[in-house]
Amino acid sequence: MITGFAEAMAASGPKVAYCRSGNRSSVLWGLSQAGKRPTEEIIETAANAGYDLSPVRRLIDSLAS
């Protein structure tokens, strides 16, 4: 699921990721960025958009390594 989301985001053209609250989409985005961006940047970017990814910080770190 993470890989598919990352591939869809990498494709050209506009994208829409939808879930009612936006949390699931933000978590998928954050996980798809693991290893591409520093974890702190991922957490901060999501926080600036109103989403708390701190509960998945360890998973992001794990995927990055």
pLDDT tens per residue across span 10-52: 899 998 888 899 999 999 999 999 999 999 999 999 999 999 9
Quick check: is 55 in a domain?
Answer: yes
Give a yes or no: residue 2 inside a domain. Answer: no
- Residue 8 falls within a domain, yes or no? no
Does residue 9 belong to any structural domain of this protein? no
Residue 6: predicted pLDDT: 87
pLDDT at 58 over 90: yes
Query: For residue 4, is it within any domain?
Result: no
Answer whether residue 29 is part of any domain: yes
pLDDT of residue 16: 85
- Does 60 fall in a domain? yes
Contact, 53 vs 46, CB < 8 A? yes
Q: Whole-model pTM?
A: 0.85
What pLDDT shows up at residue 2? 86
Q: Does 41 map to a domain?
A: yes
pLDDT at 9 over 90: no
Among 2, 9, 4, 61, smallest CA distance to 35 is for 61
